[in-house]
């Protein structure tokens, strides 16, 4: 996924875009943080 493109589109959408997909934006941020945590855990050597 191209998160930079998503962020740019999000910024271009502005306030109206955030209001339209407010819940989706919140869920996407949570999913993004979860994915980053998974990648970070995957990079660390398993003990």
Residue 3, in any domain of the structure:
no
- If you average pLDDT over every residue of the chain, what do you get? 71
Q: How far apart are CA 10 and CA 16, in angstroms?
A: 10
Residue 7: the pLDDT is 74
Average pLDDT estimate for 14-40: 70
Residues 6+ apart with CB under 8 A from 10: 17, 18, 25
Assess if residue 5 is contained within a domain: no
Is a pLDDT exceeding 60 seen at residue 44?
yes
End-to-end CA distance of the chain: 30
pTM: 0.37
For residue 39, what are the domain limits?
14-47
Q: Is residue 25 part of a domain?
A: yes
Give a yes or no: residue 6 inside a domain. Answer: no
Which pLDDT belongs to residue 34?
84
The pLDDT value given to residue 47: 61
Does residue 42 form part of some domain?
A: yes
The number of folded domains in the chain is 1
């Amino acid at each position: 996924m191209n998160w930079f493109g998503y962020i740019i589109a999000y910024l271009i959408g502005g306030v109206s875009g955030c209001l339209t997909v407010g819940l989706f934006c919140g869920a996407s941020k949570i999913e993004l943080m979860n994915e980053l945590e998974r990648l970070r855990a995957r990079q660390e050597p398993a003990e």
